[in-house]
Amino acid sequence: MKPGSRPDDSFADTVGEIVAALDQDPVLVEEVMGNGHTEEIRQVLSEKAAASPIPVHVVLTAPPREITSTEANEELLSVLHGRVGVDGVWLVATTGGYGLEVRTYTDLVPDDEYDETRLSSAVNAALEDVQEATDRACDHCSASTPALEAAVTMDVLAAGIPEDWDVHPLTEEQIDGYATSTWWDSTSSHAEYVEPTDMPTSGTYAMVATVAAVCVTVVAYRLAQAVGGRRHGRLRGKPRPSLPTRAELSAQVISARADAAAAYRTLEKALGRTRARSDDATAWERRDIATACLERAESRVGADDLLEVVGALVLARTGSYALHHAHGQYRCCYVDPRHGEARQEAQLGGGLQVPVCRACATAIAKDRPLEPLLSEGRFGSLHPYYERSSVWSRTGFGSLGGDWWREVPR
Ligand SMILES: [Zn+2]
């Protein structure tokens, strides 16, 4: 315990104690999640919560005794929301989970089904900007802490949910304000790693389990394509009738380049600052994936074609995910990878499940228009990318699983 922090006996280590604490203050930050700057973080988050236009609850702690599921963040969030009984936005992270669980129990923007997805897309863009600023200040520091993500989420809520996918919501002053050690991961360190003596070659480790699991999905997908008599399954939801103008499309390419470049640099830095133990086969396997993704993203970041640029963005995120997780892979929204991580599945026309963001899942369920990523045909016609033949439609930008990056040419 550091001087100035609360003594052990006030640590809320049961659900009841957390609920009691939230009744007094909607922000609870325990030292285990405080980056070594617990008091400062608690104060900043409390001020943001107090000023928030939407009620916000923030809980950053160790999982209380009653929470036993492997998805500690999700479980704790549901339990706390139920017990406290206040809607709004809930942000929960524990040492037993990964990242920050964000859930909204309110309409962020009335009549906008994509509001939650736009929030997460804007937060992603902001975090990539902060990582870039962090990289300028420290070559081995990671700006990916739940405390930072909670602060940035509240900044986006305060500024208003952006209407477009490609908005960078923070001011330069805000970005620079987060590029300090208060918001960095103080536990990441080179000390626990050893420099490798022998580099295993790429592909030494077969990802048998992953491949077996995803083969089923991909085979099923291709079968249904064959049975359906067309190459690409259509989603039940219809594209929205108003297509973007040429100028809007160019603006999308420019904005996607910035996002892809930031995600690329984040991955490049992460690869540079982490080391795998020479005897840790899993870590090497994950590094192989990250390196393969980085190599394939490089030539695409500045491309003219929107699909190629979005491909670079997803490759970079896939690589970062591989480095930061011991298993599993990054799955983006099948409808438009710029919507961010897929949290649900939705059914295609042929009875197939594809991963989608929450907003797209709702749109498909209610047969409402989707906002798919569009690709431009030879004569300027625009179609959802998954209705055209390309490596991106075949792989769904990785949302269909498998070692999809191998199919992407270098
Ligand atoms: Zn989506």
Does residue 256 have a pLDDT over 50?
yes
Ligand 1: distance of its center to the CA of 357 in Å?
4
Mean pLDDT of 104-112: 86
Do the beta carbons of residue 292 and residue 210 sit within 8 Å?
no
Render pLDDT for 358-403 as a digit per residue (tens, 0 to 9). 888 888 888 888 889 999 877 778 889 988 889 999 999 999 889 9
Q: Are 327 and 318 in contact (CB under 8 A)?
A: no
pLDDT at 20: 95
Cα of 366 vs centre of ligand 1, distance in Å, is 14
With tokens 């609850």, the residue in question is 57
Residue 60 predicted with pLDDT over 90:
yes
Q: Mean of the per-residue pLDDT values for the chain? A: 81
Q: How far is the CA of 16 from the centre of ligand 1 (A)?
A: 36
Measured in degrees and rounded to the nearest 5, phi and psi for residue 279 equal: -100, 10
Query: How many angstroms does the Cα of residue 219 sit away from the middle of ligand 1?
Result: 23
pLDDT for 158-182, tens place per residue? Answer: 999 888 777 788 999 999 999 998 9
Tell how far the Cα of 273 is from the centroid of ligand 1, in angstroms: 32
Q: How far is the CA of 3 from the centre of ligand 1 (A)?
A: 46
pLDDT > 90: what percent of the chain? Answer: 42
Read off the pLDDT of residues 312-363 as tens digits, 9 standing for 90 and up. 999 999 999 998 887 889 999 999 999 988 888 888 666 678 999 888 888 8
- Residue 217 CA, ligand 1 centroid: distance in Å: 19
What separation in Å is there between the alpha carbon of 360 and the centre of ligand 1? 4
- CATH number at 8-183: 3.10.310
pLDDT at 406 over 70: yes
Question: What CA–CA distance (Å, rounded) separates 265 from 144?
Answer: 14
Q: Do 302 and 257 contact (CB within 8 A), yes or no?
A: yes
Distance 315 CA to ligand 1 centre (A): 17
Measured in angstroms, how far is the CA atom of residue 336 from the centroid of ligand 1? 5
For residues 338 and 165, the answer to whether their CB atoms sit within 8 Å is yes
| Cα 92 to ligand 1 centroid, rounded to whole Å | 23
| Ligand 1 center from residue 240 Cα (angstroms) | 13
Q: Is residue 56 within 8 Å of residue 92, measured between CB atoms? A: no
Which tokens in the block code for residue 408?
């992407």
Q: How far is the CA of 332 from the centre of ligand 1 (A)?
A: 8
Cα(333) to centroid(ligand 1), Å: 5
Closest by CA to 46, choosing from 147, 176, 182, 179, is: 147
CA of 313 to the centre of ligand 1 (A): 15
Q: What is the 3-state secondary structure (H, E, C) of the chain?
A: CCCCCCCHHHCCCCHHHHHHHHHHCCEEECHHHCCCCHHHHHHHHHHHHHHCCCCEEEEEECCCCCCCCCCHHHHHHHHHHHHHCCCEEEEEEECCCCCCEEEEECCCCCCCCCHHHHHHHHHHHHHHHHHHHHHHHCCCCCCCCHHHHHHHHHHHHHHCCCCCCCCCCCCHHHHHHHCCHHHCCCCCCCCCCCCCCCCCCCCCCCCHHHHHHHHHHHHHHHHHHHHHCCCCCCECCCECCCCCCHHHHHHHHHHHHHHHHHHHHHHHHHHHHCCCCCCCHHHHHHHHHHHHHHHHHHCCCCCCCHHHHHHHHHHHHHHHHHHHCCCCCCCECCCCHHHCECCEEEEECCCCEEEECHHHHHHHHCCCCECCCEEECCCCCEEEHHHCCCHHHHHHHHCCCCCHHHHCCC
Rounded to whole angstroms, the Cα distance separating 303 from 148 reads: 31
Distance from residue 27's CA to the centre of ligand 1 (Å): 30
Q: How far is the CA of 142 from the centre of ligand 1 (A)?
A: 27
**pLDDT tier for residue 117 given thresholds of 50, 70 and 90:** confident
- 14 CA distance to ligand 1 middle (Å): 36
Tell me the CA–centroid distance for residue 184 and ligand 1, in Å: 30
State in Å: Cα 407 to ligand 1 middle: 23
**Contact, 107 vs 94, CB < 8 A?**
no
Tell how far the Cα of 354 is from the centroid of ligand 1, in angstroms: 11
pTM for the complete prediction?
A: 0.58
Given a contact cutoff of 8 angstroms between Cβ atoms, the answer to whether 218 and 402 are in contact is yes
pLDDT for 248 equals: 85
The domain limits of the chain are: 8-183, 208-407
Residue 358 alpha carbon to ligand 1 centre in Å: 7
User: How remote is the CA of residue 152 from the centroid of ligand 1, in Å?
Assistant: 21
Distance 117 CA to ligand 1 centre (A): 7
Distance 373 CA to ligand 1 centre (A): 9
Condensed to tens digits (0 to 9), the pLDDT of residues 262-279 reads 899 889 988 887 676 777
